[in-house]
Structure 1
Amino acid sequence: MFRRVLFFVCFLFIVTFFQKVSNFVYAQTSTTSDNQTAEELKSDLDSLSSKIKSLDAEIKSYNLKISKTRGDAKTLKQALANLEDRRKLLSKDIEYTKLRIIRAQENIVFTKDKIEATETVLERNKKALSESLRLIMHNEQSVPPFIGALAPGSHLSDAIEIIKRGGDATNGINEKVRALLDTKTSLALQKASYESRKHILENLNETLTDQKVLVEQTSKDKNTLLTQTKNKETEYQKLLADKKSKKDKLETEMIDVESKLRVIVDVSKLPTVGKGILQYPVDKVVVTQYFGTTAFSTKNPQVYNGSGHNGIDFGIPVGTPIYSALAGTVIGTGNTDASCSGVSYGKWVLVRHTNGLTTLYAHLSVISVSTGDKVTTRQKVGLSGNTGYSTGPHLHFTVYASDSVHVSGPTEYKSKVCGTYMIMPLAPKAGYLNPLSYL
């Protein structure tokens, strides 16, 4: 009877143990061949990291050079030199991104191999445990010999030895269970790393596509400038003067158009002024122009009444990622250069948020979202640029009261200055808010 009870206890223990380990894997070392592959891969990754570091230094050098000449394109020679420097920088960016893509791909392969090896071990151990359980269930003789020593007539010393050996076996099993738990945690981390690396690779491929577009665009800009000026300084100066004149006239015209908008801003729908309501739309914050100030905006700094600059500018190189300041919905995108070149926002994105604010991102080189898209906080909406009226690469960032702003329809606003219909954000004076009240 005692033998049967003990057998049943052993059976229950093994079943319980099997259920636990079926969710885990044994930690095993790789074979010599696997180690060699891992070492070779590590060597490749180290080499790539070294090249990436070297390129990163070159890119920083180019950025420094370009930042020193930002806004200095007062002559045709300077303008052409700036465009050439920008093209070289973007070419280096492409080379840099390609290396990062290769590194990401190798990291993905390495991580995937580790996951597959671990899962193979898991299946092997499941089968081994299943076989052990089957033998115990169908053949009592498979129970370890020391169980038989507990039958009637056995000596006390045999029972003591059984207890000792049983304790040793339990300790061994506990160690295996701990190892299995550790390995399961490791496997979960490997899988999380794999998904993260896949996401990084997707972003890098997207970045590479954008960078190639920028290189082509920069080359076209240079050719267009040469065509427009006939490579003559006098023609370039005329071009600058014409753009400045059109820009000033268009701004005056827009103030008149927006002053006729009959919209009352409900201040109660706006969030309380404070830091961190919105996130900065750039990684490196360098404000080159602040929000315009007047007697009204001084008294109520979160509200802009139409005098001066209607947002803030961040000085950044062309091709820098621009992020949504908060989660929201893209309610419009456009390119004013398509209807009136070089006098307004250029490429722009407008995002409406759920807290009563709407944000504008202007002078972009690439637009990465479409009207109707849902975006998350700090999701990329485009790349910085120099489109529209811009004396140098930067992001123009405007914050509106959501109730006040709308995108002009295709036949709503025809500019007298440009003679074309303009599709762009429009808002009354009181609809412009000071971005720094919420960043």
Structure 2
Amino acid sequence: MTDTASTLTPVLTDTWDAERSWTLATYEQHGGYRALRKALGMAPDDIITAVKDSGLRGRGGAGFPTGMKWSFIPQDNPKPKYLVVNADESEPGTCKDIPLMMASPHTLVEGVIISSYAIRANRAFIYIRGEVVHVIRRVQAAVAEAYAAGHLGKNIHGSGYDLDVVVHAGAGAYICGEETALLEGLEGRRGQPRLRPPFPAVAGLYASPTVINNVESIASVPSIIDRGAEWFASMGTEKSAGFGIFSLSGHVKRPGQYEAPLGITLRQLIDLAGGMREGHELKFWTPGGSSTPLLTPEHLDIPLDFEGVGAAGSMLGTRALQLFDDTVCVVRAVLRWTEFYKHESCGKCTPCREGTWWLVQTLARLERGEGSEADLDLLLDQCDNILGRSFCALGDGATSPISSSIKYFREEYLAHLTHGGCPFDPARSTAWAGQEVPA
């Protein structure tokens, strides 16, 4: 068995347990803003090169190389350059960026300053989900502290570099996690995805060159500049370098945030979390939130990196590991997720707007034990009409739990039909006929 104690790599989470960890004083006591001073003495292109060499890939789900994304900004464009931080965390099961901003907002702020300097942006925006008011206030307070300390504003630390940071409260929509819908919301319009091209790197916020990165991606930059690209690249796997925050939720004894190198396995993470709850076994799990195809116990030992999870037929996504034990009805869980996607569809394109509605109708009928086995093929056909045909990835994500659950749990779907309802619910199934219903 692996020594799980040595598996954790607390970098982003290192100071979360420090007293008043969110304050500037505590952050600087632990080496905060040291990387900024080092970065201001470097050429912007050298910072981009360092981030490229580190192998940092986007921590928001897609896994696109961060340094490469920065290098796409056309520096010969006379328009201003912008950095936008996507803090609209709302994928079901994803809960890493919000605790990071609560426990150590200055890690993000320092990352914003270094990243903005690298792409030659003089204004940056942190777009935070509107419902999490406590997080918005905490990040606003950290930005104010950074201004007061001279880390933000005019001529930062005598470098000649100016930067203003705006903390923007979103209007509250899952679709605004999609980067172009986020830009629409930031500009004051309804959150709906934009047609691409042009891509944000060329014509993003206010039709100007824009880099959009996830909170964790930007928060990882100070440690790369401070400790070196080689240090970061030495962790993780060959194509998925570095560390990441894995969010374990569901039926484990100690749910929470576990920061570890990419490539760790779920078996190791469950060991760290104290195992599954007493008397029960793992039944199914999501590697990256509910929009990634679900996996089963047979996948416990696949490396949790972009390539390993992809080879298993799913996506690493945001590393939102939702674990469900043998008491959970997979049909009911998938129905709840699908209801969420139907509700959050922005309605811009027909495949997603109409498709998610029909997915819910068909799934709900099956969950009640109505319909026939042909409805499973109907579901897969509906998924096929949405996948790859919707305007953005929301439609694709809605199909993932459905098609993967039918692949692995087809018999459970059929059991709903033979039992006249959910076999896990004594009140709604003929499977319990003649038996005493549990209290």
Higher helix residue share? 1
Larger radius of gyration between Structure 1 and Structure 2: 1
Bin the TM-score by the shorter chain: under 0.3
TM-score, with length taken from structure 2: 0.19
TM-score, with length taken from structure 1: 0.19
